[in-house]
């Protein structure tokens, strides 16, 4: 068990560890970082790396070796400078202290609460060794070779908890469980050979992709599946399993006779002797560690002013085959710790502790090949442009997947493109800005040289005038470069409307953004109807034909026949669907009455009967008389005998006119239940039909239907009115 002095020493070491780990957050990450501000800088060819569908505005660009495109990014996912170091008055004097200072009340708790579940420490450095691209009509090709060096570390929150607060409260005290499963390191150096291609499918959609061949020089990668520490003041128990893989060409890792990594004598030395020869350097940069990757992207203009974009980048892997070292970790380990007395040699105690960890953790060491995945990123953006694309407002969501975790940033941007030789972007991170940083990017073209610089995190707030430490700054990034641009269609004479045709040759200098143009800069209108092809829903309209806003021939009366073919241009709405190919109302039976007004469109009729044949006056008289001449039993459907005579007359009319079709409609008054009345009217109409059928009238020449009390001819408020409403009507028609 540790003495009070030993506990104090232990606490001191823990505090030192916490500060060291926190400051590591600003050290240099295999994570493909990006400067988000560059995403909307249209005049910078290198933004193609963030979405391969972005076609550079220049016809040709060449990345200059004198000032190659480079990117640097370093930081962490949790802490700002003001979480670690700040200014505070102590004894009346301004002092710079850390969160662990005895008078920094509450700052240790604030530091701990600021931590995410896993703090990602990252750093990334990329140099473009070769880079160029060129346009072929609607296609754009890019070639690039770049060297990437990345280092990353993951520190779980419980690691800081152990360092800051310790574990247990002495003998017999409680134990804390610390989950350190996400603890790990990932670092790589590799060369990327990229071949990109994009194509403008139409005026709305552009797609692109990049194939990558990767050659790895060095790597270290941990995969801790489970790592838990149960600790009290006098006993630690550790359980864990995972792997450590490394491909280190210039580092000698000692192995013991048992085949295990010799941790006790682990003093890796860098051996640079092989770099003294051309072959050694060649073997380093063109090793047998290789892999492949791919970028995919697309842009789509919903409107000429509104563009959506999406890209998936760095989807790939590297297979490591040379200069290999592996260690498999699998342990259930407990120790009472190392007792330290004043005067003991700290080196001896550390060696003992190191040997304990060797016995506990390293169960095997090998030289086996392994695979690491690139850290994949998803970019989704939108930009709305105004003033002929000279001003744009953008929104970008960027999500990185690394070490089984997602890290997302959301950025807004204001983009200025007043001319072809200068543009600028101003950005703010909605998730990581903390109201104290902004982003800025600028592009300047001088003659054929296009130069740019972009930064995401420019600090706005500082601790004090005497201590210029930026508050809330979690990291820093920078991307810059200079390229030689050739064949810019806006280089001579300008291209004010941005349609790809120089002003000197542009006969239509004010073309709206997003329209396809011909070689003279005029909107393409194949059929010459005044509506551009990209808006023309009828692109083959005959010359001289009047069209609507969609480019389709006018049809003033809406009958489906365009005006230039319509011989009856004033067709009423009732005739829709009943006109011939000349746009005139049809008359199927040729009786001079148009079908849309003809109740008998297939039978020759007269106008006085709405296109149907004339009904004789005698027949009309009988049908009218029948309206009140049919009587039934009270509340029933039995026909009373005094009704037979009129029914027989109706049967005689039907027999003499074989083209008649008889509608038999039953009606009631409103006395009683409406549904019961409906059923009664249907039964009465059916009984009448049955009677006429018995008199020789074919069944298919009669249609019986009941309407109940829904169609009164008089008011139901009087007996006289109700009597007239109780009726059977007979209507003659000539077509089914």
Alpha helices for 106-166 (secondary structure H): 107-114, 157-165
Predicted confidence band of residue 223 (pLDDT cuts 50, 70, 90):
confident
Three-class DSSP category at 663 = strand
Q: What residues pair up with 416 in beta bridges, in sequence order? A: 391, 424
Return the pLDDT at 637.
Answer: 86
d(CA 550, CA 553): 9
Predicted confidence (pLDDT) per residue in 451-474, tens digit? 999 998 888 776 555 656 677 778
Q: Report DSSP letters for 518-551, one per residue.
A: -TTSPBP-TT-SSS-TTT-SSTTPPTT--B-TTS
Residue 694's pLDDT is 92
Question: Is the alpha carbon torsion for 432, 435, 436, 440 positive or negative?
Answer: positive
| CA angle, residues 157, 163, 166, in degrees to nearest 5 | 110
pLDDT tens by residue, 14-40: 333 333 333 333 333 334 468 999 999
Residue 267 confidence (pLDDT) above 60: no
What's the full length of the chain, in residues?
A: 736
Mean pLDDT in residue range 195-207: 93
Rounded to whole angstroms, how far apart are CA atoms 390 and 670?
75
Residue 322: CB partners within 8 Å, gap ≥ 6?
A: 247, 249, 287, 288, 289
Higher pLDDT, 13 or 409: 409
As given in the structure block, the two tokens for residue 479 are: 């991307």
pLDDT of 355 strictly over 70: no
Look at the block and give the residue holding tokens 């790990």.
184
Per-residue pLDDT at 95 exceeds 70:
yes
From CA 308, how far away is CA 345, in angstroms rounded?
Answer: 65
486, 510, 531: which is the final residue of a domain?
Answer: 486
Query: Does the pLDDT of residue 338 top 60, yes or no?
Result: no
Note down the domain range covering 314: 4-486
Does 567 fall in a domain? no
∠289-187-397 over CA atoms, to 5°? Answer: 105
**pLDDT tens digits, 570-617:** 788 777 778 887 888 888 888 888 888 888 887 888 877 878 888 888
pLDDT in tens, 102-140: 888 888 888 888 888 888 888 899 999 899 999 988 899
Give the tens place of pLDDT for each residue, 498-515: 677 776 677 777 777 667
Picking from 36, 130, 134, 57, the residue whose alpha carbon sits closest to that of residue 445 is: 57
pLDDT band at 361 (very low <50, low <70, confident <90, very high): low
Rounded Cα gap, residues 498 and 509, in angstroms:
9
Containing H/E element for 693? Answer: helix 674-694
Q: Residues 719, 721, 722, CA angle at the centre, nearest 5°?
A: 65
Q: Give CA–CA dist 397/160, Å, rounded.
A: 30
Instruction: Quote the distance between the C-alpha of residue 502 and its chain's center.
Output: 36
Q: How many domains does the chain have?
A: 2
Reported as a single tens digit per residue, the pLDDT across 629-682 is 888 887 788 888 888 999 999 999 989 888 888 999 999 999 989 999 999 999
- The neighbouring-strand residues paired with 138 are none
Residue 5: pLDDT above 60? no
Name the strand (E) or helix (H) holding 443: strand 437-446
pLDDT of 732 > 80? The answer is yes
Pairwise pLDDT comparison (475 vs 217), residue with the higher score: 217
State the Cα–Cα distance between residues 638 and 619, nearest whole angstrom. Answer: 25
In this structure, what token pair is assigned to residue 364?
Answer: 């095997």
Structure tokens of 324? 């290999």
Q: Which of 60-69, 255-264, 371-380, 552-561 has the highest mean pLDDT?
A: 371-380
Phi-psi region of 600 (alpha: psi -120 to 50; beta: other; left: phi over 0): beta
Please indicate whether residue 233 or residue 353 has the higher confidence score (pLDDT).
233
- Does 512 reside within a domain? no
C-alpha separations of 79 from 37, 98, 120 in Å: 22, 13, 10
Distance from C-alpha of 395 to C-alpha of 307, rounded to nearest angstrom: 11
Measured distance CA(212)–CA(191) in Å, rounded:
10
Residue whose C-alpha is closest to residue 684's, from 618, 642, 729, 639: 639
Q: How confident is the model at residue 712 (pLDDT cuts 50, 70, 90)?
A: very high
State the pLDDT confidence band at 224, using cuts at 50, 70 and 90: confident
Report the DSSP pairing between strands 370-373 and 405-416.
unpaired
Residue 84 has which token pair?
Answer: 């670690």
The whole-number pLDDT of residue 290 equals 93
Residue 285 in this model has a pLDDT that exceeds 80: no
Cβ atoms < 10 Å from Cβ of 417: 23
The pLDDT score that the predictor gives to residue 32 is 44
Tell me if 325 sits within 8 A of 362, measured CB to CB: no
- Which of 469, 486, 503 is where one domain is finished? 486
Give me the pLDDT at residue 26, please: 33
Of 455, 423, 452, nearest in space to 439 by CA: 455
> How far is Cα 576 from Cα 584, in angstroms, rounded to an integer?
10
Domain boundary among 418, 453, 486: 486
In a domain, 557, yes or no: no
Beta bridge partners of 95: 88
Contact 576, 590 (CB under 8 A): no
How many other C-beta atoms are found inside a 10 Å radius of the C-beta of residue 588?
13
Asked if 400 and 258 sit in the same domain, the reply is yes
Report d(CA 50, CA 311) in Å as an integer.
7
**Is 324 contained in some domain?**
yes
617's enclosing H/E stretch is: helix 617-629
**Mean pLDDT for the stretch of residues 378-395:** 93
Q: Which residues 6+ apart lie within 8 Å of 385 measured at CB?
A: 305, 306, 307, 391, 392, 393, 513
CA distance 541 to 538: 6
Q: Closest by alpha carbon to 493, among 438, 598, 420? A: 420
Report the pLDDT averaged over residues 434-460: 87
Contact 28, 453 (CB under 8 A): no
Q: Name the most confidently modeled range: 86-95, 526-535, 566-575, 711-720.
A: 711-720
By mean pLDDT, which of 6-10, 279-283, 292-296, 308-312 is the weakest? 6-10
Report the share of the chain in percent with pLDDT over 70: 81
Residue 569 counted as domain residue: no
What angle is formed at CA 118 by the lines to CA 116 and CA 121, rounded to 5 degrees?
Answer: 100
Reported as a single tens digit per residue, the pLDDT across 177-190 is 888 888 888 889 99
CA distances, 530 to each of 420, 511, 523, 524, 696 (Å): 31, 14, 10, 10, 69
Question: 616: how many CB neighbours lie within 10 A of its CB?
Answer: 11
Provide the pLDDT confidence category of residue 160 given band limits of 50, 70 and 90.
confident
CATH number of the domain that residue 661 is part of:
3.30.1330.60
Per-chain mean pLDDT for the chain: 81
**Number of other CB atoms surrounding residue 556 within 10 Å:** 12
In this structure, the dihedral spanned by the alpha carbons of residues 256, 260, 265 and 269, taken in order and rounded to 10 degrees, is 100
Spatial contact of 58 and 50, defined as CB atoms under 8 Å apart? no
Question: Residue 549: inside a domain, yes or no?
Answer: no
Give the pLDDT of residue 435.
65
Residue appearing with tokens 């000429």: 304
């Amino acid at each position: 068990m540790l003495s009070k002095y030993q506990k104090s020493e232990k606490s001191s070491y823990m505090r030192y560890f916490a500060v060291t780990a926190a400051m590591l957050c600003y050290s240099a990450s295999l994570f493909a970082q990006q400067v988000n501000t560059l995403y909307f800088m249209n005049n910078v060819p290198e933004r193609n790396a963030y979405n391969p569908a972005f076609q550079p505005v220049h016809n040709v660009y060449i990345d200059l070796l004198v000032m190659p495109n480079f990117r640097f990014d370093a930081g962490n996912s949790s802490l700002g400078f003001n979480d670690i170091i700040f200014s505070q008055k102590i004894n009346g004097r301004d002092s710079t202290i850390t969160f662990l200072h005895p008078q920094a009340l509450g700052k240790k708790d604030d530091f701990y609460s600021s931590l995410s579940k896993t703090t990602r420490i990252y750093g990334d450095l990329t140099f473009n060794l070769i880079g160029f691209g060129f346009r072929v009509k609607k296609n754009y090709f890019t070639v690039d070779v770049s060297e990437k060096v990345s280092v990353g570390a993951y520190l779980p929150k419980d690691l800081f908890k152990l360092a800051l607060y310790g574990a247990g409260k002495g003998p017999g005290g409680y134990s804390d469980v610390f989950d350190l499963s996400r603890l790990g390191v990932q670092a790589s150096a590799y060369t990327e050979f990229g071949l990109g291609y994009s194509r403008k499918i139409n005026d709305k959609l552009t797609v692109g992709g990049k194939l990558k061949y990767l050659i790895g020089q060095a790597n270290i990668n941990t995969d801790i599946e489970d790592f838990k520490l149960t600790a009290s003041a006098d006993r630690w128990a550790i359980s864990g399993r995972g792997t450590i893989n490394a491909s280190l060409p210039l580092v000698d890792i000692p192995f013991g006779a048992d085949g295990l990594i010799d941790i006790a004598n682990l003093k890796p030395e860098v051996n640079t002797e092989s770099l003294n020869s051309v072959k050694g350097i060649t073997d380093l940069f063109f090793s047998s560690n290789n892999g492949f990757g791919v970028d995919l992207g697309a842009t789509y203009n919903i409107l000429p002013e509104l563009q959506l974009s999406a890209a998936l980048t760095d989807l790939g892997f590297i297979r490591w085959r040379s200069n290999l070292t592996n260690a498999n970790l699998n342990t259930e380990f407990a120790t009472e710790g190392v007792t330290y007395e004043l005067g003991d040699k700290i080196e001896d105690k550390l060696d003992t502790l190191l040997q304990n960890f060797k016995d506990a953790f390293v169960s095997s060491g090998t030289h086996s090949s392994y695979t690491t995945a690139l850290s994949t990123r998803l970019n989704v953006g939108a930009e709305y442009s105004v003033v002929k694309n000279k001003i744009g407002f953008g929104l970008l969501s960027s999500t990185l997947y690394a070490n089984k975790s997602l890290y997302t940033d959301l950025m807004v941007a204001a983009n200025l493109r007043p001319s072809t030789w200068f543009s600028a972007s101003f950005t703010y991170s909605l998730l990581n800005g903390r109201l104290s940083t902004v982003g800025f990017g600028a592009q300047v073209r001088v003659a054929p040289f296009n130069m740019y610089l972009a930064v995401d995190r420019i600090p706005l707030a500082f601790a004090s005038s005497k201590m210029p430490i930026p508050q809330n700054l979690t990291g820093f990034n920078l991307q810059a470069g200079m390229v030689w641009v050739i064949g810019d269609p806006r280089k001579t004479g300008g291209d004010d409307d941005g349609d790809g045709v120089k002003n000197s040759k542009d006969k239509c200098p004010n073309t709206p953004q997003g329209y396809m143009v011909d070689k003279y800069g005029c909107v393409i209108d194949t059929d010459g109807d005044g509506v551009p092809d990209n808006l023309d829903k009828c692109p083959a309209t005959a010359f001289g034909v009047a069209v609507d806003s969609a480019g389709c021939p006018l049809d003033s009366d809406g009958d489906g026949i365009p005006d230039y073919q319509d011989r009856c241009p004033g067709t009423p709405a009732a005739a829709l669907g009943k006109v011939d190919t000349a746009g005139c109302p049809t008359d199927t039976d040729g009786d001079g009455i148009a079908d849309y007004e003809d109740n008998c469109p297939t039978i020759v009729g007269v106008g006085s009967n709405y296109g149907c044949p004339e009904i004789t006056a005698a027949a009309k008289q009988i049908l009218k008389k029948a309206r009140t001449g049919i009587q039934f039993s009270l509340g029933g459907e039995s026909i009373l005998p005094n009704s037979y005579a009129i029914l027989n007359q109706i049967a005689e009319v039907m027999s003499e006119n074989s083209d008649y079709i008889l509608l038999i409609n039953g009606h009631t008054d409103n006395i009683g239940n409406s549904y019961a009345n409906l059923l009664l009217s249907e039964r009465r109409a059916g009984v009448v039909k049955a009677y006429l059928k018995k008199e020789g009238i074919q069944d298919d020449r009669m249609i019986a239907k009941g309407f109940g009390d829904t169609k009164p001819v008089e008011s139901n408020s009087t007996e006289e009115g109700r009597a007239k409403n109780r009726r059977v009507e007979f209507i003659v028609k000539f077509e089914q």
